[in-house]
Structure 1
Amino acid sequence: MSLIKSISGIRGTIGGKVGDNLTPLDVVKFASAFGSWLQNNKNKKDLTLIIGRDARISGAMVNSLVTATLQGLGINVIDLGLSTTPTVEVMVPELNADGGIILTASHNPKQWNALKLLNEKGEFISGENGAEVLALAENEDFNYAEVDDLGAYETREDGFDIHIEKILALPLVDLEAIKAKKYKIVLDAVNSTGGIAIPMLLDRLGCETVKLYCEPTGHFPHNPEPLKEHLGDICELVKKENADFGVVVDPDVDRLALIDENGEMFGEEYTLVAVADYLLKHKKGAAISNLSSSRALRDIANSHDSQYFASAVGEVNVVNLMKEKNAVIGGEGNGGIIYPDLHYGRDSLVGVALFLTHLAKENKTVSELRAGYPAYFMGKKKIELTPEIDVDALLTKMEKEYQNEEISTVDGVKIEFENNWVHLRKSNTEPIIRIYTEAKSQEEADKLGDDMIAKIKSLI
């Protein structure tokens, strides 16, 4: 497995050979590169970084390597321990730190881990900055501190409390409306840190939590990507418990999927749609998602006389466009909610609070709420890459094949047909080509994906 260095961070599988996987030497090299880059670009002597991790089995080891490396550079470390991606993002500016590192491979299986790099705003560093970090790593141009200048180390255990307090203080989170409903919610946190943070939030919101896979052991009981085919257990438990709905988060708690009261998927894409529907009723402005997200968000924005824009895939790209358009709400169709009134990062906790407020004020069941939105169905397929495949050349061939259709090449190739679309792109996080489709029925979306796979294979 190749080590993947991208806009989404440095990620790879644990073990194996240096340079091919995320080995201890690779962890030290990239932590050194990021720390050195910060030192080169900050006009101050003492730097402080915030560190937090999900519950992966390798997390403690990677944390020790990163922490010691930063101290070796003379950088102070504040360690949040078991945390979430959005919590670390909130805590960087809260503690006036110079940046942060989140140790998580997000939705990837347990053998993966990663270093996600944050600037002083608690936002992912830009692609340009990331290239500078990678160049430093390549050259191994590091200058470690002498013994009297080693960085300090401290731990903080109040990250979740601070994060939740900020959410509850948001004007559009209606605590009393939620408490009045006394919702019963089943939570699947895939045995990672969402099993700590989400129940804390739900308790403050006056909800009853039924916990499923909420022990932060890092032993994922199913594939951690919150897709329908992985979520049979929670769908059954929601019905068995007569719960109002179910909540599913990925290991680092930046993706939010919902299950209705009948044990049916609300739809990853519709998490953002529902939250945007609520927010745009109260605040006019643009809504942003990426090119692989549903047309439903565009439709909802239009229904509120608001504009919709699509960015290239990648949280950094979504955030940049949100800032450019001064957006009210943004995110990604994989269940990622970005609410700029809190911070510019995907955040399942604020997503839960806003969704609950919307649900309470609408006085509907989750299935009734879903039925009120435009009916689109997505297909998400992929093709494993092999070294001999020239992906860029392949995408160019696909662009030529469909040159008479409306095509975007901002990120891979997106082909807009009259009643459906397909988006082909090289993944930022895995060695695959992602094939996203959307149509008016699941069968049509799946068939379009299969047709595209057949077409791609014919061109290889």
Structure 2
Amino acid sequence: MTLIKSISGIRGTIGGFQGDNLTPIDAVKYAAAYGSWVKQQRNKEQHSVVVGRDARISGEMVQQLVMNTLVGMGIHVIDLGLSTTPTVEMAVVMEHADGGIILTASHNPKQWNALKLLNNKGEFLNAAAGQEILNLAEGNTIEFADVDSLGRITINDAYIDMHIDEILELPLVNVEAIKKAKLKVVVDGVNSTGGIAVPLLLEALDVDPIKLFCEPTGHFPHNPEPLKEHLTDLMARVVEEHADFGIVVDPDVDRLAFVDENGEMFGEEYTLVAVADYILKHTPGNTVSNMSSSRALRDVTEKHGGTYTASAVGEVNVVEKMKETKAVIGGEGNGGIIYPELHYGRDSLVGIALFLSHLAETNLSVSALRKEYTSYFMSKKKIELTPQLNVDAILKTMAETYASEEINTIDGVKIDFAENWVHLRKSNTEPIIRIYTEAKSQEEADQLANRFIKEIEAVAKQ
């Protein structure tokens, strides 16, 4: 059981002991630290924070703890209830709120939950702000409100509909072409809030949604990370229904993957590639993805005359680099689409709308569209960490071992070989080392990953 305190939020497993897991006491402690930080950012009489959650079993309990902690600090809370991460991000801006908290552990299994923290722009906190909150949590300076100054909770369950309305108003969402295409799509909502939001979006576009695991019970029917090995039910259902393709999102709807009409994976790395191709065709410009993402985005960007830039891993780093380079589209190779025309956050809903527009305008099948892009193959593996492992020392040794190759150490160690690459980094959200590789064949990518796992294990034993 685990509690991970990082600049990107507080994530842990439910139950167990305070400080070792995400217990009610820990939820209150870090909600109070965040509330204190929010009040320090703006000198004003009344502060407000938007709170929403995915459908995890523990979500309602954690949300009540978090909201009432903020109320106890004199902060007003806008309660979105069951929502999505991008919806909460947009609601912060639309409410002119001072921040937001999303209660979700993204792709982690059901025993996990987390407090994902936003600033007043509806964006994830940078490293400095995250560290301030961690410091406040460990200090003894958090002040609560007196009885006449308590906050209040206002329920607003309209924001998913408002989010969809904003998407439909985007100039590059070709509503007319999508409606004419008369598409039929299977939706795997992993029994979380994607099962609410994605069908609503599709219905607004006259796309026929066939619902699979769309009851928001929080009992995930399979591992909620949208990878091929977890999606056999979706792949079979697409073929069985003779659907045009399948859609799957993670529990908080910021990761997006597709299955083609033959029941084959489109490739989560290619979600961003396809959407970027569509955006760049209409609005030429620059793109950004993180260091662990496919070279295919660079290829598409250069085809349209733009410049591709790689950022450190982490949404906040991608967003910072997108702003710096004035990127028109960006995101992460795990199926995260960031379209700044709407907002600076990974958003599966806008990703779906833009992908549908691309599909409708090209009049291609999903499998044919995939063939438009250079094929790279990735392997994503991990090594579980133990307290005895000195990860920084291991990564330093790996960098020294391959010093003759092109090395990037802004985020772990990335080693660029002529025909492939490997990226080694410590996860911000789980006690693991991630090993990402990319090559011209799946076999080569897997072999490269396995080779580096063995090399890391050998270094760890020294």
* TM-score category of the 2 structures, normalised to the smaller one: over 0.9
Alignment of 1:7-406 (within 5 A): 7-406=7-406
2:89 corresponds to which letter in structure 1? E
Deviation, structure 1 residue 423: 0.2
Q: Deviations over 1:200-223 (max 9, x none)?
A: 000001100000000000000000
Deviation, structure 1 residue 269: 0.2
- Contact 2:7–2:129 (CA under 8 A) maintained in structure 1: no
| d(CA) in 1 for partners of 2:18, 2:372 | 52
- Contact 1:198–1:349 (CA under 8 A) maintained in structure 2: yes
Deviation, structure 1 residue 141: 1.9
Root-mean-square deviation over aligned CA pairs? 0.6
- Contact 1:5–1:11 (CA under 8 A) maintained in structure 2: yes
Deviates more, 1:2-11 or 1:91-100: 2-11
Deviation, structure 1 residue 2: 3.3
Runs of 4+ in 1 over 6 A off after TM superposition: none
Deviation, structure 1 residue 42: 1.0
Please name the residue that 2:6 is paired with. 6
2:27 corresponds to which letter in structure 1? V
Q: Deviations over 1:388-445 (max 9, x none)?
A: 0000000000001111100100100000000000000000110000000000000000
2:115 corresponds to which letter in structure 1? L
1:226 corresponds to which letter in structure 2? P
- Contact 2:8–2:125 (CA under 8 A) maintained in structure 1: no
| d(CA) in 2 for partners of 1:435, 1:350 | 29
Q: Deviations over 1:93-134 (max 9, x none)?
A: 101111100000000000000001111111011110000000
Identity among equivalent pairs (%): 67
Q: Deviations over 1:7-64 (max 9, x none)?
A: 3311000011111110000000000000001112211010010000000000000000
* Secondary structure, counterpart of 1:328 in structure 2: strand
| d(CA) in 2 for partners of 1:442, 1:219 | 32
Q: Deviations over 1:154-207 (max 9, x none)?
A: 100110111001000000000000000011000001000000000000000110
| d(CA) in 2 for partners of 1:413, 1:392 | 10
Deviates more, 1:5-14 or 1:229-238: 5-14
Tell me the TM-score normalized by structure 2: 0.99
- Contact 2:7–2:134 (CA under 8 A) maintained in structure 1: no
- Consecutive unaligned residues of structure 2, counting only runs of 5 or more, are none
| d(CA) in 1 for partners of 2:433, 2:390 | 11
| d(CA) in 1 for partners of 2:36, 2:379 | 42
- Contact 1:92–1:122 (CA under 8 A) maintained in structure 2: yes
| d(CA) in 2 for partners of 1:162, 1:219 | 27
- Contact 1:415–1:421 (CA under 8 A) maintained in structure 2: yes
- Contact 1:7–1:314 (CA under 8 A) maintained in structure 2: no
1:13 corresponds to which letter in structure 2? T
* Secondary structure, counterpart of 2:109 in structure 1: coil
1:376 corresponds to which letter in structure 2? Y
| d(CA) in 2 for partners of 1:360, 1:248 | 19
Deviates more, 1:136-145 or 1:380-389: 136-145
Q: Deviations over 1:66-100 (max 9, x none)?
A: 01100000000010000000000011110111110
* Secondary structure, counterpart of 2:105 in structure 1: coil
- Contact 1:53–1:103 (CA under 8 A) maintained in structure 2: yes
1:276 corresponds to which letter in structure 2? A
| d(CA) in 2 for partners of 1:209, 1:7 | 38
- Contact 2:8–2:130 (CA under 8 A) maintained in structure 1: no
The alignment covers a number of residue pairs equal to 460
| d(CA) in 2 for partners of 1:278, 1:5 | 38
Deviation, structure 1 residue 284: 1.7
2:236 corresponds to which letter in structure 1? E
Please name the residue that 2:411 is paired with. 411
1:294 corresponds to which letter in structure 2? S
- Consecutive unaligned residues of structure 1, counting only runs of 5 or more, are none
- Contact 1:27–1:62 (CA under 8 A) maintained in structure 2: yes
| d(CA) in 2 for partners of 1:49, 1:177 | 38
Deviation, structure 1 residue 458: 1.1
* Secondary structure, counterpart of 1:142 in structure 2: coil
* Secondary structure, counterpart of 2:211 in structure 1: strand
* Secondary structure, counterpart of 1:171 in structure 2: coil
| d(CA) in 1 for partners of 2:432, 2:67 | 32
Alignment of 1:416-455 (within 5 A): 416-455=416-455
Tell me the TM-score normalized by structure 1: 0.99
2:5 corresponds to which letter in structure 1? K
2:64 corresponds to which letter in structure 1? S
| d(CA) in 1 for partners of 2:435, 2:292 | 9
